[in-house]
Amino acid sequence: MEINERGFSKKALEDFELIDQAVQHEDQQAYASLMKRYKKAVYYMILKMIRDADDAEDLTMEAFAKAFKNLHRFKKDYTFSTWLFRIATNNTIDFIRKKRLKTMSLNTTMSDDGGNSVTIDVQDDDNNPQDEFIRTQRIEMVRIFVDKLPAKYRKLVQLRYFDELSYEEIAKELEKPLGTVKAQLHRSRELLYEIAAGKQKHI
């Protein structure tokens, strides 16, 4: 087959099969398998970029949500991991620009698990007219999944993602201990992962 002739690894070919199952047959387990394979790798890649565990968890969830929403557009011209890492990288760069963090250390090249180069080239351009559009798209994409959350989690995610409050600000707003807010947001992310993977069960 043409795909095999391109020298894809066994893992990459397995990913292609999972993608076909997810897109063509709406196989929830296929989505879950793709997430299980790459969740940790995506998280640690993002963590290296921003060095904040809480934000890295948020951005990891967003990366998978966006990837699964657009999985039907994935072309087998390169590995799924390369495509996913680029989605995660671009989303994180958008986050960095928004937070106006220093990005000098991000001009580097990483390799995904297939040995393919993933170049991170961040230009310090605070006036990029695309930033607001990208941010709006990201929020709308996440909102699709957030609307399916149980009510008690929806408010937390609303404050974190849409109102962009810090964990400390959310704790003050809801008059809850910081540890409780972090634990509940962690659970919210787990539920969002399940929803993004197509598990539409009632919780």
Pairing mode of beta strands 117-120, 108-111: antiparallel
Radius of gyration of the chain (CA): 18
First to last CA, the chain: 43
Q: Per CATH, which fold does 6-196 belong to?
A: Rna Polymerase Sigma Factor; Chain: A (1.10.1740)
- Per the CB < 8 A criterion, the answer to whether 82 and 118 are in contact is yes
How confident is the model over 13-65, as pLDDT tens digits? 999 999 999 888 878 888 888 988 999 999 999 999 888 888 888 899 888 88
State the pLDDT confidence band at 114, using cuts at 50, 70 and 90.
Answer: low
- Per the CB < 8 A criterion, the answer to whether 56 and 46 are in contact is yes
| Tokens 């408010």 found at | 155
**Mean pLDDT (the chain, rounded):** 76
Distances (CA, A) of 131 to 38, 135, 140, 148, 181: 27, 6, 14, 27, 29
Average pLDDT rounded to a whole number, residues 150-179: 86
Total-model pTM: 0.60
Residue type, 189: R
